Amino acid sequence: MKIKKYTRVTAFFLAVCTVLLMLPLSVRADEYWPDGVKTQSKSAIVMEVNTGTVLYEKKSHEKHYPASITKIMTVLLAIENCDMDEVVTFSADAVFKNEGDTSHIARNLGEKLTMEQCLYAVMLESANECAYAVAEHVGQKLGGDYRTFIDLMNKRAKELGCTDTHFNNCNGLPDEDHWVSAYDMALISAEAYKNETFRMIAGSPSYTLPKTNKCKAEYPCHNHHKMIYPFRGDSSHLYKYCTGGKTGYTTVANNTLVSFAEKDGITLVCVVMDAATPDHYTDTRKLFDYCFENFQALNISENDAGLAKDNGKNYGVLNNSEPYVKLDEDAYIIMPKGAQFSDVSYKKTESAKGKKKVARLAYTYAGHEVGSVDIVKTGAKVKDNYYVNTDSGQKKNERVIRIDPAWLIVAGVVIVAAVVLLFLAKRAYDNFYVIRHQRKTKKNDKMRFREKKRKKYNRRKDRFF
């Protein structure tokens, strides 16, 4: 008997194992992050603009002199605080404090340009006097002066999360108290690139300044960034995916370069600092190519079926209306090619900023923040046609509720199941005493049989003796 029992247990165990082996297994791939590119620049970083994902970094928190890439912050603040048709008047400080420097376009005392014209000169020709005039104009507009603008630069940097930055001028001229890290410069540049006006200016190959009150000839501006425009006839560094950027150079800073590029739904900003010529261009191209070849953008709402279903189903009115909230349809994450969306982890972060934003989900993979998505309100409201008037025998203000037929089917199934359970319970209760009597009767019959058998045995025993 024991052998048969153990045999049955073993057979059952083997059957369970067989069933488990037949089930599809969900295997999580080993998380990896591409890191197979080398650069010559002392410090470098590649960041995806819209997600903030860092795809590559090399001593990215090391502080360096930024040179003229400083002007990205100057232009950003001008766009955020001014209209493009505002008139900027050049002061003595703007004109003469930059006299003799190669990065200027020879503006005159009292000359007037629009803010838009100044910003083109700043980004394309790296005009120091134009950057200074812009800083003075914004500072005065805010009720202060040039130093007010510098304070604003540092304040804005902190708002963007910069921790290795201190600005002391608006144009990047050598200053021991003026420094920034590649990581912080990427944060500043990514924020600037999200602005449409900045993108238009920073990506222009050329621009012509018109005649002014002090200059009777037009002034042609050409972008010094050689991945955008063949400056001084050098077309060897042109890069078809490059959409904007800013150059920088001083003897103490060496070459610095900020570049933007777009391909396959990914927008990258690359920052290289303290680079020899032409390493700032060759490193940037190498990094762009490497990142575009090894990373991909995955739309969150299209790939996260679970979240999309939940947010599209559970917030409607009686499952028959537009959902109240949904995932931002434009949000995406950056993943190494070959990795699956199911490999990422996410968690709810602090409430998203904005009236229409309910919350934010942050995604991580292989120890990297790869993107986030806002849960946003759709603006859906309970419509009156969910409570409709009828003209067939009902009062004027009487309303009825429209219910999805699927809910009626579910309710019917639940009611039938409840009735069946109640019937079975009632049946068991009614037969309780009958069943107990039958068991007692059977027990008494067994006792009488045993007693009768015992008496018969005793009679035989007495006769024998």
Look up tokens 């019917």; give the residue: 412
Among residues 70, 195, 176, which one has the least CA distance to residue 131?
70
Q: Give the whole-angstrom CA distance, residue 288 versus residue 48.
A: 11
Question: What is the rounded distance in angstroms from the CA atom of residue 290 to the CA atom of residue 212?
Answer: 46
Integer Cα distance of 259 and 464 in angstroms: 120
Give exposure, 440-456, as e/b (b: 16+ Cβ within 10 Å): eeeeeeeeeeeeeeeee
Cα angle: 95, vertex 100, 105; to 5 degrees: 55
- Tokens representing residue 324 in the block: 């109240």
Residues pairing with 180 in the sheet: 64
Task: Please compute, for residue 125, the number of CA atoms within 13 A of its CA located in the half-sphere on the CB side.
Answer: 25
CB 350 within 8 A of CB 69: no
Could you say which of 41, 43, 60, 126 is catalytic?
A: 126
Q: Is 246 annotated as a binding residue?
A: yes
Q: Find the catalytic residue in 71, 226, 286, 326.
A: 71
Residue 351 a catalytic site member: no
Q: What is the rounded CA–CA span in Å between residue 28 and residue 4?
A: 41
Q: In this structure, is the dihedral angle defined by the CA atoms of residues 83, 89, 92 and 94, taken in order, positive or negative?
A: positive
Helices (H), 160-216: 182-193, 196-202
Q: Is 43 a catalytic residue?
A: no
* Helix, coil or strand: residue 72: helix
Q: Annotated catalytic residue: which of 43, 60, 68, 301?
A: 68
71 annotated active-site: yes
Q: Which residues are annotated as a binding site?
A: 246
Q: Which residues have a catalytic role annotated? A: 68, 71, 126
Q: Enumerate the known binding-site residues for substrate.
A: 246
